Structure 1
Amino acid sequence: MITQTDVPLSSTENTSYSTRILTFTATLWLVVATLGQWIFAAYILLFYGRPALTGAFEKWNRVLPHGYVEGDWKGNFVVGLHLLLALIMVVGGPLQLIPQIRKRLPVIHRLIGRVYVSAAIIVSAAGLIMVWTRGTIGDHTQQISISIQAVYIILFAIISIRKARSRNFKSHRSWSLRLFMVVSGVWFFRVGLMFWILINGAPVGFDSKTFTGPFLTFLAISTYAIPLSLILLEMYFFACRKNNFTLNIGVSLIIFLVTLIMGVGIFGATMGMWLPRI
């Protein structure tokens, strides 16, 4: 007796099946990333926000070298603004990617979008000022890489705005996703770092005191200067355009593997970095 499972799937059915898998893995990635970013948002709010409310700004220096400098109100204002807007972006970014909000609450979507894009540009500019005037941990490769990321953010934000104003919403969504990926670079760096430490059981390939070494050079370049997250997104776009069974399955497997790595990194960052500080 021949059952339905004995009948080979047609090429169209195969493609449809692989498209659903691609959509599922992309959705799973978004869910995990959203959870991780909102945990990071809670860390920013509690670690930096609580000292600000009590006037204990010097506690920022536990993580940010020279984050607070007594008497330098202009520089301190820039750092505080950077942190506040970073919090807004980490919370608002994933909200912009939820289809239900975009379709059912377009006014809210546009409002959050305007705040998000504006915050991205201001944070990037403030970040550049912080890196090159107050310094940061790490070497010049890390500083240059994160500066390149700031240029990406400003450029993608401007393009995203222009596409929305011209009502080219399909292109606007694509550039908004690209913006989200590069904006999340600092978060990807932390998650990648904690994944690496977890699987090795110790800092390997870098000096934890000077925060320099070959692994951190690779991580900075691959999250800031040549973002692997952006490459992954372009692979997803390409698979969606081609709608080919083999390509869909291949990209789905890569996205799923990246999601697993990201999940482990989020767990490591939460338990080893964010939670102990709050």
Structure 2
Amino acid sequence: MNGILSMPGRSAESLVDVPHTLEPPARSTLPPSAQRSLKALRLSAGFWFLIALVGQWLFAWYIAMVYARPVLSGTPEAINNTAKITGYIVGDGLGNSLLISHVLAGGLISMLGLLQLWPWLRRRVPGLHRWNGRLFLALGMLGALSGLYLTWIRGSRLSDLGAIGISINGILILIAAVLAWVHARNRNLGQHRQWAIRAFLLVNGVWMFRLGLTAWLLLNQGPNGNTAKLDGPFDLAWSVGCYLVPIALAELYFRAESSRSPTRQWLSAGALGASSLLMALGVFGAWLMLWRPHL
């Protein structure tokens, strides 16, 4: 993945692929105004990709240091130093196993997920793209199922209301992962790509919740509609917004990139650019408030 940042002659727009069944018209056949809007759309998507790459890998590093290292060193109880909800419990073999697998799956997903959005990898190493995609979907489904168990059976939640939105996220992950796999099997590559992107965004809903929460706290210089149990007005709204907003932006992008309307493409580019800036603020806030203090 580091090669993305150092490849000579590659612009940010080349980091994001075009759907196979919804290809926009070739830029050379478009008027100059439409060529500019299409380029702006691709550049905004590339900018989003780079911000997400930084945030995902920082999160993966945090998981490796705070969760994976204690488990591998034989001191799993150390993960309770950062836990806000139920952590490692002596004697709870099933719960501990699911907790550790849930967290480590999240770390692997953060390392592997964005590889699937890199068109160079799909074109040059299709076998790796396919197997990495299968692993990503499997880990995403494992994370969703283990998360539902931990939330509602083990009781690892701060409040019932606050957990509902994230639980809906888990159910949608299962649906999107299955549809992405089915379309890949049926060689419906355009639909596969779109469902794979939806699955990626849904799998990272909890990651996005952290980013949105810390960005909100920074913008407000403290809590505003937040509670310690994450059941305040903003907390509850963002518990569903953390995956619905990214999905809506993806839908906007899908339609804009296959459109001949420069206005639609400029609007989509602006929305992606603004969301990328907010995401960058969230990455900074999460690193400052949630991740760095425990490293």
CA displacement at 1:262 relative to structure 2: 0.4
What residue number does 1:127 align with?
147
2:220 is equivalent to residue 200 of structure 1? yes
1:15 to 3, 28, 34: 34
C-alpha separation in 2, matches of 1:267 and 1:97: 23
In structure 1, distance between residues paired with 2:189 and 2:265: 24
- Residues 1:44 and 2:76 aligned together: no
Using the TM superposition, give the Cα deviation of residue 58 of structure 1 relative to its aligned residue in structure 2, in angstroms: 2.2
Tell me if 1:24 matches 2:43. Answer: yes
Mind listing any 5+ residue stretches in structure 1 that lack a counterpart?
A: 1-9
Q: Is the 8 A contact 2:162 2:230 kept in 1?
A: no
Q: Which of 231, 234, 241 pairs up with 1:212? A: 231
In the alignment, the residues of structure 1 paired with residue 248 and residue 93 of structure 2 have an alpha-carbon distance, to the nearest angstrom, of: 40
The equivalences for 1:1-278 within 5 A come to: 12-61=31-80, 62-208=82-228, 210-224=229-243, 227-278=244-295
Q: Which amino acid aligns with 2:169?
A: Q
Number of residue pairs matched?
A: 266
- CA distance in structure 2 between the aligned counterparts of 1:122 and 1:45, rounded to whole angstroms: 18
Aligned residue for 1:164, secondary structure, equals: helix
| Aligned residue identity for 1:263 | A
Q: Which moved more, 1:61-70 or 1:266-275?
A: 61-70
| Residue of structure 2 in register with 1:4 after alignment | none
Distance 2:76 2:116 in 1: 32
- Once residues 11 and 169 of structure 1 are traced to their aligned partners in structure 2, the CA distance between those partners, rounded to angstroms, is 25
Equivalent position amino acid for 2:76 in 1: F
Does the CA-based 8 Å contact 1:142-1:221 persist in structure 2? no
Determine if contact 2:161/2:231 at 8 Å carries over to the other structure. no
Which structure has the greater CA radius of gyration? 1
Find the residue that maps to 2:153 and give its secondary structure. helix
Shift of 1:39: 0.5
Look up the equivalent residue of 1:165 and give its one-letter code: R
CA–CA separation in structure 2 for the residues paired with 1:189 and 1:234: 19
TM-score (norm 2): 0.87
- Matched residue of 1:204: which SS? coil
The answer to whether the 8 Å contact 2:165/2:236 transfers is no
Report the CA distance between 1:106 and its aligned residue: 0.6
TM-superposed deviation, 1:218: 1.1
Question: Is 1:64–1:136's contact at 8 Å kept on the other side of the alignment?
Answer: no
CA distance in 2, matches of 1:201, 1:136: 29
Q: What is the alpha-carbon distance in structure 2 between the residues aligned to residue 230 and residue 81 of structure 1?
A: 26
1:108-153 CA-partner distances (Å, limit 9, x unpaired)? 1111111111111111111100000122343222211111111111
1:131 touches 1:143 (CA, 8 Å); kept in 2? yes
Does the 8 Å CA contact 1:188/1:223 hold for their aligned counterparts?
A: yes
CA separation of 1:171 and 1:237: change in aligned 2, threshold 3 A = same
Alignment deviations for residues 178-232 of structure 1 (CA, whole Å, 9 cap, x no partner)? 1111111011000001101111121221123x333111011102114xx100001
Residue range with higher mean Cα deviation, 179-188 or 237-246: 237-246
Please give the secondary structure, in 2, of the residue aligned with 1:67: coil
AA of the residue aligned to 2:253? Y
